[in-house]
Amino acid sequence: MDVAQRKFFVGGNWKCNGDLEFIDKHFNEVLFKLGHDKTKCDVLIAPVFIHLQKALSLANSNDSGLIISAQNCSLTAEGAFTGEVAARLIKNLGVNWTILGHSERRTLYRETNEKVGTKVKNAMDNGLNVVACIGETLQEREEKKTLDVCYAQLKEIAASVTDWSRVVIAYEPIWAIGTGKTPTVDEAQEVHLAIRSWISKNVNVEAANGVRIIYGGSVTDTNAESFAKMSDIDGFLVGGASLKPAFSKIVNAYTVKGLTGKY
């Protein structure tokens, strides 16, 4: 499968943002007016847990095609785990996706590579599709450890993946998240290609060619198209800009890939 056959994928990671009023406004003023070709670009929206139900009903109310996603799931199944949300309960609500391994989860909530792997397993076993995040710190980049760090994170994720068609990998350099800094498009492409090659070698060629590898970290409406032109960048995971009207232009950056047909 070459680049033209991978469907573009743009995720809006709302993090801990978006109250009831914002959700109504943002769906009506931005998300329902994206105007993208749904056969060429998947759009995922990840609000906070407590608003998943509301986001689902909005997304389903007008055939928007928007995918609603959790931002996390529990390490554990249902049971005496106060404050946690198990993967099965997310799926039971009608949500089919979750983001896992975001760097904020890894650093602020001490999620190790191993824990992220366990969460990926929980999610997949319960029928959830996964946006699995990886990426290096600034220090690791400066020490030229970017690929080693990504491979170590990928290894734990890959060990839990049962179906690669249900996974999207998000490469998010930690130093680029929320900072306004980004790697150059060539630097990002180099890491995306390395991730794909790792999957080809350690899983199989089919999984590697089919998996969407998306870029995250200070994506804006002004830089999205130049990243989208790179052959191994299949979309974006967007934080700050996903809460703004600028999200629309980021979603529509898929048009620069010149995709044709349905796949």
Catalytic residue list: 102, 172
* 13 touches ligand PGA (CB under 6 A): yes
Which helix H or strand E contains 43, and what residues bound it? strand 41-46
* 131 touches ligand PGA (CB under 6 A): no
Determine which residue in the list 18, 173, 183, 216 makes contact with ligand PGA, applying CB under 6 A. 216
- The SS3 of residue 253 is helix
Residues 6 or more apart whose CB falls under 8 angstroms from that of 247 comprise: 12, 30, 31, 34, 221, 238, 241
Determine which residue in the list 167, 238, 246, 251 makes contact with ligand PGA, applying CB under 6 A. 238
Which is nearer to ligand PGA, 102 or 196 (by Cβ)?
102
For residue 194, CA distances in Å to 117, 145, 148, 182, 200 come to 20, 13, 10, 18, 10
Give, as one character, the DSSP assignment of residue 8. Answer: E
CA 155/CA 150 separation, integer angstroms: 8
CA 115/CA 121 separation, integer angstroms: 10
* 213 touches ligand PGA (CB under 6 A): no
* 218 touches ligand PGA (CB under 6 A): yes
* 219 touches ligand PGA (CB under 6 A): yes
* 135 touches ligand PGA (CB under 6 A): no
Tell me which residues in 164-203 interact with ligand PGA (CB under 6 A). Answer: 172, 177-178
* 31 touches ligand PGA (CB under 6 A): no
Closest distance to ligand PGA from the beta carbon of 169 (Å): 13
CA 34/CA 72 separation, integer angstroms: 25
Question: CA gyration radius for the chain?
Answer: 17
Which is nearer to ligand PGA, 181 or 201 (by Cβ)?
181
* 127 touches ligand PGA (CB under 6 A): no
Structure tokens at 257: 């890939």
- Contact assessment for residue 169 and residue 214, using Cβ atoms and an 8 Å cutoff: yes
* 235 touches ligand PGA (CB under 6 A): no
CA 197/CA 166 separation, integer angstroms: 19
* 44 touches ligand PGA (CB under 6 A): no
Determine which residue in the list 140, 240, 252, 257 makes contact with ligand PGA, applying CB under 6 A. 240
* 100 touches ligand PGA (CB under 6 A): no
The residue with its CB nearest to ligand PGA is: 239
Which is nearer to ligand PGA, 43 or 237 (by Cβ)?
237
Task: Count other C-beta atoms under 10 Å from residue 51's C-beta.
Answer: 17
The distance between the two most distant Cα atoms of the chain, rounded to a whole number of Å, is 50
Closest distance to ligand PGA from the beta carbon of 126 (Å): 23
3-state helix, strand, coil in the chain (%, to 5): 45, 15, 40
How many residues at the interface with ligand PGA, by CB under 6 A? Answer: 13
Question: Site residues (CB under 6 A) for ligand PGA?
Answer: 13, 172, 177-178, 216-219, 237-241
